[in-house]
Amino acid sequence: MRVAVLVSGAGTIMEAMVAAGVPIGLVGADRPCRGLDVAAALGLSTVLVDRAGFGGFTASFDRVAYSSALADVLTESTSDLVAMAGFGTILTAEFHAAFPGRVLNTHPSLLPAFKGWHAVADALAAGVTETGCTVHIATEALDEGPILAQRAVTVMPGDDPATLQERIKDVERVLYPATILTVLDRLEQNLPLEGLNEKRAI
């Protein structure tokens, strides 16, 4: 099976996937970024489906057209599973319909707590002593999909969003690739993905 990885930034989670042996067939991005350069240097196929051609980061961004165009590119690449890895564009139903139940994402909190873009800062503001990361099936609704795996990260005295985010990323770089490999194995055996969820402290 082939995994398409979507990036928007540095691509460090994608690098962790490569190191873990995830079979990446394509790395795609919504903007020029380091992640694409790293993927190319690693010998991976890359594609840029740039938001700039769909309105960029303005109010006129055509999210539906962009989602459809990206879905077409990944479908043509015969990707079996899509893994978002720091991908910054919310995709519409047109994309998810092309890969039903086969789009994965990682989120820096123990969902369902602290959904959205500011999960780490929100956890600190709430004064929790524990947060973490969640690997889940992405759906059209932001951070709402079925949970596949979680790991807890302790909030340390003196943590700020940057220090806590980095410790969560350290966990994501282990948990996400391992979960992807488990998902691929279950898909190859036609097994359901339910029952994968577990939570462990790190």
Residue 75 tokens read as: 């479908």
Could you give the residue numbers annotated as active site?
107
pLDDT at 202: 36
Separation between Cα atoms, residue 4 and residue 27, nearest integer Å: 6
Q: What is the per-residue pLDDT for 57?
A: 95
Report whether CATH 3.40.50.170 matches the domain 1-100: yes
Any idea which architecture 105-202 has in CATH? 3-Layer(aba) Sandwich (3.40)
Residues 6+ positions from 168 with CB-CB distance below 8 Å: 108, 120, 131, 132, 133, 153
- pLDDT given for residue 191 in this prediction: 82
Q: Say what the pLDDT of residue 190 is.
A: 84
pLDDT at 31: 97
Beta strands in 49-202 (DSSP E): 81-84, 103-107, 130-137, 147-154, 199-201
Instruction: Check residue 197 and give its pLDDT.
Output: 65
This prediction has a pTM of: 0.93
pLDDT of residue 201: 42
**pLDDT reported for residue 194:** 66
Sorted by where each begins, the domain ranges of the chain are: 1-100, 105-202
- If the chain, 202 residues long, is cut into consecutive pieces of 10 residues, what is the mean pLDDT of each piece? 96 96 97 97 97 96 98 93 96 95 96 95 97 95 92 96 96 96 92 66 39
Q: Do domains 1-100 and 105-202 have the same CATH topology?
A: yes
Q: Cβ(71)–Cβ(30) under 8 Å?
A: no
